[in-house]
């Protein structure tokens, strides 16, 4: 059980760091690079906007899977 606790702490710290970087980049105007990738779908109509971040979701999933795989090794 101690390994699970350490993993949860590591994931929590990672989330705090990534969240802080996202906030920092948003405030400074530096583009973060996610959210406008080719393959993301954006539909704008008069009073309607639909955004489906398909490619962004795949990239985030691959990065998180690789990070968790590395933590388990």
Q: Where are the chain's structural domains?
A: 1-32, 36-73
**Whole-prediction pTM:** 0.54
Q: Check: CB of residue 15 under 8 Å from CB of residue 68.
A: no
Measured in degrees and rounded to the nearest 5, phi and psi for residue 26 equal -65, -35
Contacts for 40 with CB less than 8 Å, ≥ 6 apart:
51, 52, 53, 54, 55, 56
The candidate with the shortest Cα–Cα distance to 71, out of 13, 22, 18, 19, is 13
Q: What is the pLDDT of residues 9-66, one digit of tens each?
A: 888 898 898 888 777 776 665 555 666 778 888 899 998 988 888 888 888 889 889 8
Selected residue with higher pLDDT from 51 and 1: 51
Place of tokens 């490619």: 55
pLDDT at 22: 75
């Amino acid at each position: 059980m101690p390994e699970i606790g350490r993993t949860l702490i590591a994931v929590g710290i990672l989330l705090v760091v990534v969240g802080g970087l996202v906030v920092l980049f948003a405030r400074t105007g530096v583009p973060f690079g996610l959210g406008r990738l080719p393959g993301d779908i954006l539909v704008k109509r008069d009073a309607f906007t639909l955004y489906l971040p398909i490619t962004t979701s795949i990239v985030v999933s691959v990065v998180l899977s690789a990070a968790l795989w590395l933590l388990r090794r």
